[in-house]
Structure 1
Amino acid sequence: MSATIYTDSDADQTALDGRVVAVLGHGNQGAAQAANLRDSGIEMIVGNRDDEYLAPARDAGFAVFSIAEAARRADVALLLIPDEVQPSVFAEQIAPGLTSGNTLVVASGYNVAFGLLDVPAGVDVVMVAPRMIGAAVRTRYERRVGYPCFVSAERDATGDALRTALAVAKGIGGTQAGAVASSAREEAALDLFSEQAIWPAIMSVFQTAYQVLHAEGFSDEAILNELYLSGEPAEIFARVARSGLLGQLGLHSQTSQYGQLRGLGRLDPSELARRFTGVLRDDILSGDFAREWSAADPERRLAELRAHAEQHPLAAAERALLAEQP
C-alpha cells in the first residue's frame, strides 16, 4: 500500500500569512523548528516555562512568553513538549487559549491517537512529524538537504487543515525530500512498535550473544568491540539508509555475505512474528500501553526498569570497558 508524498510544490506558505505561529517548548525539536520557520519568513513566537531552554530561546532573538500566553497569542500552535506531560500542560495552559479557527500542530501522534488531548471545538488538529532528531532538522534545513516527515490532518474544522499542515512542513524543511501522508494513529503505532518490539529484540540479541560468547571464553574486549563498541554497526546502518538492507551487503566480503544470507535463511521468523504481532495488537493498538504509561509514575518506573536491565552481565562488562576509554 503506497502513500501520497507531498513536496515543496504541494505546499503553500501563504496559508500562514497574517497568522502568528507559536512553538510551545523550545527544546531539541522546538529550537530547530522555530529557527527554520523564522528563516522561512514566518512570524514566530516561543512559549516556554522557566527552565534551561528559556535563556537559549531569548538569546536566539525570539519573543518568549509563558506557554499559556503564547498559546493565547497564537493562531497556529506547535506542541513540542514531551509526550508524557502534554495532557496535563495542554488541559491547564494551552487549551484555554485556543479558539475556533486556530490550528494545533503536533509532532508526535501519540496523545492524539490515544485521545489524551481534549482539543476545543473549531480548532484544526494536524500532525507535522519529522523523522529526524532536532539537531539534524536544523542542520539539514541550513544545508538544504531534506529529511523524512509525516503529515496529516486529524481534524479539519476550517477546511484548510491540510493546507496549514503542509505550510508548516515546508517552513521547517519537511517537504524538501517529500512528506509522507500519514495519520496520528500510524505515526504513534510505528514509533511505539520500534521502541517496544524492534529495539528490545536487538538489545536481547546483543545480551544473548554476549552470554554465549563469554561462556566460550572469549574476552569482553573482543566481544563488545565486535558487537557494537567499535561503531561498525552504526556505519552499517548508515549504509543501509543509503543503499537498502540488502544493497549494503556488497560492501562486505563474500565470506561475510555468504554467512549472513546463509544464517538468515536458517532462521525461523514465526516466533518473532508472533511476538511482534502481540506487541502491536495487544499492547499498542489496544491502548493498553498508553493507559499503563498514563497511570505510571514515569521517573520511578523508568528507574526500576533501568535498574533491572543494569543487572545483566553485558551491562557490567560494558561499564568496565567504557570506563577504560580515554
Structure 2
Amino acid sequence: MPVKIYHDEDADVNIVRSKTVAFIGYGNQGRAQALNLRDSGVTNIIIGNIDDDYAKQAREDGFNPISIEEAVSQGDILMLLIPDEDQQTVWNEKIRKNIKPNSTLVVASGYNIAFNLLDLPDDMDAVMVAPRMIGAGVRDRYVQNIPYPCFVSVEKDVSGAALATCLSIACAIGATRGNGAVGSSCREEAGIDLFAEQALWPEIMAIFREGYNVLREAGFSDEAILFDMYLSKEPAEIFERAADEGFVKQLKYHSRTSQYGQLSTMNRNDGNEIREKFRRVLNDNILSGNFAKKWSDTKWAAEELAKEWKEVEKAPIVQADQRVRDVLKPDRKK
C-alpha cells in the first residue's frame, strides 16, 4: 500500500497562525523553522532557550528568548528541537510540569517518542514534522521556494485535530511544497536514521579504511589514494547523480571499464553476510530499544563517545588524512 503524501492543498496554514508556538531550542532546526514560520505569517512565536550563543542568535533575529519553563507554559504548540540525547532530561526537569493543557508536541526526530522516553500528558497531542535536511537547508530552500523532503506523522491524537495541526506546521515551514511531505511514523524515522548511523555508514567507512590499508601496503602514496577515494569529491558527485537520476542509472556517467567493474562485482555478491550483520544491528540493538536505553545514560554516552574518538584517531587513514591536509594547506611554510 503506497504511503500518503501531503501537499500544500492538504494543509491550512491558518491553524498554526492562530496558535502560540513555543520553540524549545534555537539551534540547527529551531532557527530555520522559527524563521520560516514567521515568514509564513505566524506572529505568536516564543523562543525558549538557555542563555547561550543560540539565544544571542535569536535576539539578533528579532526574537526575545525566555527560559524553557516560561516558553512551555505559554505554548499551544511545543516545537521540541533540542538534540535527541538531551530531550529526556530537559523534558523531565523543565518541560513536563509546565506544559499548557491541551497543547501539541512537535518533534523533528522520532527518536524519543519511538522509544517511549517522554512521559506525555494524557491531554497532549504528539506529531512529527521531520525535514530530511539540515536546518540551513530548510531555511535556504524556503527562501528560494525550493521543495525539500520531509516526513510527517501523528503519534497521539487526543483532540482529533492532530493531523491538521501537523500539516499546518509542515506547510508553514515549506515542507509540503513540490513533491510533498511523506506520511511516516516516529518508529520508522528513528529506525531508519539509527540504521544508517549504526549499519550503513560504518560499513562504508570501514570499507574506505581497509581500502586505504590494502593500497598503502601495495606501495601507493597517501596523496594518490585519498584523492582517488574521496578528497576529489567524486563520491559526493556520484551520490548527487544517484539522488537526481537513480541509484544504478548514475553509472552511465562512468567509463565502460568502471561500469563493468562495479556491476560485475556487485551482481556476484549475494550480500548474505552483510544482510545478516545488518539484521542484527536493526533488531538486536535498535528496534529492541537496547541502544536507546544505553544512550539515555548521558554520562555513559559522553564517555563512550570520547573513547570512540580516541580509538579512531589511531587509524592509519585518519593520520594519513591529516598529513595530506597539512601539506595541501595554501598557507604552509615553504
Normalising by the smaller structure, the TM-score range is over 0.9
Residues 1:313 and 2:316 are matched in the alignment: yes
Residues 1:193 and 2:184 are matched in the alignment: no
Distance 2:146 2:17 in 1: 25
Q: Which residue of 2 aligns with 1:21?
A: 21
Tell me the amino acid that sits aligned with residue 255 of structure 1. T
The partner residue of 1:252 within 251, 254, 278 is 254
Distance 1:12 1:73 in 2: 22
Q: Which residue of 1 aligns with 2:167?
A: 166
User: Is the 2:17–2:41 contact (alpha carbons within 8 Å) kept by the matching residues of 1?
Assistant: no
- The number of equivalent residue pairs is 326
Q: Which residue of 1 aligns with 2:144?
A: 143
- Structure 1 length as normaliser, TM-score? 0.98
Tell me the amino acid that sits aligned with residue 328 of structure 2. Q
Q: Which residue of 2 aligns with 1:87?
A: 88
List per-residue Cα deviations over 1:184-216 (Å, max 9, x = no partner).
111000000000000000001001101111111
Q: Which residue of 1 aligns with 2:31?
A: 31
Q: Shift of the alpha carbon at 1:266?
A: 2.4
Distance 2:101 2:22 in 1: 16
- Structure 2 length as normaliser, TM-score? 0.95
Distance 1:187 1:199 in 2: 17
Residues 1:113 and 2:114 are matched in the alignment: yes
User: Is the 1:99–1:120 contact (alpha carbons within 8 Å) kept by the matching residues of 2?
Assistant: no
The partner residue of 2:204 within 193, 202, 212 is 202
Residues 1:238 and 2:240 are matched in the alignment: yes
3-state SS in 1 of match to 2:296: helix
Distance 1:309 1:64 in 2: 39
Q: Shift of the alpha carbon at 1:293?
A: 1.0
List per-residue Cα deviations over 1:51-99 (Å, max 9, x = no partner).
1101110110113211111111110010000111101111121122213
List per-residue Cα deviations over 1:215-257 (Å, max 9, x = no partner).
1111111111111111110111111110111121111112211
Distance 2:175 2:122 in 1: 28
User: Is the 2:72–2:100 contact (alpha carbons within 8 Å) kept by the matching residues of 1?
Assistant: no
Distance 1:174 1:21 in 2: 17
Tell me the amino acid that sits aligned with residue 304 of structure 2. R
Q: Shift of the alpha carbon at 1:295?
A: 2.3
1:204/1:87 Cα in 2 relative to 1: closer, same or farther (>3 Å)?
same
Q: Shift of the alpha carbon at 1:16?
A: 1.9
Distance 1:110 1:322 in 2: 36
List per-residue Cα deviations over 1:143-192 (Å, max 9, x = no partner).
10011100011000100001101001111111113111111111000000
Residues 1:266 and 2:268 are matched in the alignment: yes
List per-residue Cα deviations over 1:89-135 (Å, max 9, x = no partner).
11121122213321010010000011110111101010000000000
3-state SS in 2 of match to 1:99: coil
Distance 2:199 2:74 in 1: 41
3-state SS in 2 of match to 1:23: strand
Q: Which residue of 2 aligns with 1:102?
A: 103
User: Is the 1:4–1:180 contact (alpha carbons within 8 Å) kept by the matching residues of 2?
Assistant: yes
Structure 2: gaps spanning 5 or more residues = 330-334
Distance 1:189 1:63 in 2: 36
Q: Which residue of 2 aligns with 1:295?
A: 297
Q: Shift of the alpha carbon at 1:296?
A: 4.7
User: Is the 1:100–1:121 contact (alpha carbons within 8 Å) kept by the matching residues of 2?
Assistant: no
3-state SS in 1 of match to 2:53: coil
Identical amino acids, percent of aligned pairs: 52
Structure 1: gaps spanning 5 or more residues = none
Q: Which residue of 1 aligns with 2:182?
A: 180
- Segment of structure 1 superposing worse, 33-42 or 257-266: 257-266
Q: Shift of the alpha carbon at 1:323?
A: 1.7
3-state SS in 2 of match to 1:317: helix
Q: Which residue of 2 aligns with 1:77?
A: 78
